Amino acid sequence: MVITAEHVVTASGNHAQRTAKMLGIKMPAVPVEHTFIVMDKDPELVKWREAGNPEHPVVRDADSESYAREERGGWILGIYEHGAPARFEHGVPDSFRADLFPLDLDRIAEQYMAMTERVPSCAESGLKDDFNGPICYTPDGNPLVGPAPGLRNMWLAEGFSFGITAAGGTGYYLAQMMVEGEAEIDMASLDPKRYAQSWMTTEFAARKNEECYEHVYILHHPDEERPAARPLRCSPAFDRQKERGAQFGWVNGWERPNYYGPKNAPAHFDHDARSFRRGGWWQYAVDEAKAIREGVGLVDATAFTKHVVKGPGATQFLDWFTCNKLPKVGRINLTYALTAAGTTRTEYTIVRNGENNYYLVSAGGWSEYDADFLRKAAEDKMAEFGYIEIQDVTTQWGVFAIAGPKSRDVLKEVIGDADPETALSNKRFPWLSARQIELGMCPVNAIRVAYTGELGWELHHPIEMQNYLFDLLEKAGEKHGMKLVGARAQTWRRMEKSYRAFGTELGRDATPAEADLPRFIDLSKEFHGKEAMLETGVRFKCCTLLIDGPEDADPWGREVLYTEDGATRVGRLTSGGYSVAFGKSIGMGYVPPELAVEGTRLKVKLLDRLWDAVVSCDSPYDPTNATIRQNG
């Protein structure tokens, strides 16, 4: 039978792998064994209910990795234990219908005994039934909801480990995407393309899903990094960075230094310690942030997503696709691609290499998410604008970001130029420009921009030459005190400059106007999403806040903002951290427009207390960009 439909939604549960093969795509939705036990009647519970008392709420015991709830006078015990294996990695066999797996009582004995201690009366109940069946998971526990990669009008609703909980919302927001082109909330965290087809494998999904399952009842901390299936995607300099104390975070499969700790850590130092307060890593991140402010630091930004867009239709397409003016040849611009609803879909740094030749840099965590949107948009416009060629070159180019007042001095040591003293000067290499230079034997596409708010360059280099360039820069930087810098210090520095980040301040639930970025919106031209953005108006606005918080903790983002008297919730932080420039906590977030005014006093909730916060000017550190434009 052949059925023709305008839209197709897949919701195949444990059969997601079979569905993926039919569609010719990969999905990291793989079942894991899940055990739950049905106990016989508990006499004390029966008496409780016969006396007219209400049903008990679900009891969740995080220490024992389990939950319990009433079931016909007895209890059900559901367990999320360590060691539960992934099953059906390559598809559910035809012979498996509503079958179960053999019960492994040894694996759950500890949780069962904990239940008898938590509810002593159930110790005499006995076991009525037991179940060990498949439950579908994804590597981060979030389902895969949204458009299938590379396909039109094909929608996924797969990988639900908590189906009843998520079912209604999924149907509601998926219908909005299908009918209106966009949901009213940002669905990026559920987008199927957060695990790219280019590197995601069945083995990766199985191992990460096992890890995710056993983390259901583990207390999570904001600086958590999970170890399964790592390292996987490593830049060539990974081993060198590791030797120098790098502690890595995970971004779209890439290993990216979070900070550089002690090479030979003292016995009391625990890199894996997790806390809601400042961890052992904090002082190392402070030192790295100060190095960029006072001297020079080197950041590995290889994980950036990179695309080449070229061809006769490239200029017209990108002019329509993004909301800012396109740069002139040899220059760069920051711009945004919008959704049909006028909200921010992607942030791009666009480097114009030729009349119809562009190099686009976007967030490292969203490579396929960006690629799929870019390609589909180009396909829709090719007949109107002409041929457009798009190449994902993310893995072809490594990136080092060098920044700080001494960054020019380091590069002078190694640049191949007849006059190295002026090669990097403002006259020959101005701010927001791009040039092809040579550093030693390495050809580099250098972009004069710095995410940290200091004088600096992004050095885009052939990835096969990365170790050569790393060694060259490290040696040249020795006499200038150059320090290796991780992502956490870089994040702190970008907040001091009020630089918005995609996935935090920027997303599909706010327009660029609401992100307070009018200088990057060219209303004199027509661009995708413009009319919807103008119709939306400014419902809330992004701002930067300086926070007089606790002495041993900083915000991470998503903390609630209140009015100065603490009586009314008015917004939330989207990012948070510590400012070395101001010696206090810093954050960015959204509040009503009338509150996003310099000097407005608010409260932010941290560690169950309200702390003073004040809205600062945009870019509280160096608002005139004097340090970035530094003469030389």
Whether the per-residue pLDDT at 267 is higher than 80: the answer is no
Q: Lowest mean pLDDT of 60-69, 390-399, 450-459, 576-585, name the range.
A: 60-69
Sign of CA dihedral 469, 471, 474, 478: negative
User: How high is the pLDDT of residue 265?
Assistant: 66
Following DSSP, what letter does each residue of 64-126 receive, concatenated?
GTEEEEEETTEEEEEE--TTPPB--TT---TT-SS--PPP-HHHHHHHHHHHHHHSGGGGGT-
User: How high is the pLDDT of residue 632?
Assistant: 66
Whether the per-residue pLDDT at 458 is higher than 80: the answer is yes
pLDDT band of residue 241 (cuts 50, 70, 90) is very high
Instruction: Encode pLDDT of 273-328 as tens digits.
Output: 778 999 889 999 999 999 999 999 999 999 999 999 999 999 999 999 999 999 99
Whether the per-residue pLDDT at 185 is higher than 90: the answer is yes
Domain range annotation of the chain: 8-27+140-197, 30-137, 306-394
User: How high is the pLDDT of residue 74?
Assistant: 92
User: How high is the pLDDT of residue 266?
Assistant: 65
Instruction: Encode pLDDT of 78-124 as tens digits.
Output: 999 999 999 999 999 988 888 889 888 889 999 989 998 889 998 88
Superfamily of domain 306-394: Aminomethyltransferase beta-barrel domains (3.30.70.1400)
* Phi, psi (deg, nearest 5) at residue 130: -140, 150
User: How high is the pLDDT of residue 67?
Assistant: 93
Angstrom CA distances, 579 to 290, 558, 591, 610, 624, stand at: 10, 18, 21, 19, 18
User: How high is the pLDDT of residue 499?
Assistant: 97
Whether the per-residue pLDDT at 268 is higher than 80: the answer is no
**CA dihedral of residues 103, 106, 111, 117 (deg, nearest 10):** 120
Is the domain 30-137 a CATH 3.30.9.10 member? yes
Enter the pTM of the model.
Answer: 0.94
> Alpha-carbon distance 299 to 459, whole Å?
10
Whether the per-residue pLDDT at 269 is higher than 70: the answer is no
Instruction: Encode pLDDT of 474-506 as tens digits.
Output: 999 999 999 999 999 999 999 999 999 999 999
- pLDDT, average across residues 164-183: 92
Angstrom CA distances, 542 to 26, 194, 488, 498, 504, stand at: 37, 25, 21, 9, 11
Q: Which two tokens stand for residue 488?
A: 């956490």
pLDDT band of residue 203 (cuts 50, 70, 90) is very high
User: How high is the pLDDT of residue 162?
Assistant: 83
* Phi, psi (deg, nearest 5) at residue 97: -100, -105
Q: Which DSSP state fits 520? A: G
Is the pLDDT higher at 167 or at 254? Answer: 254
Percent residues over pLDDT 90 in the chain: 86
User: How high is the pLDDT of residue 223?
Assistant: 87
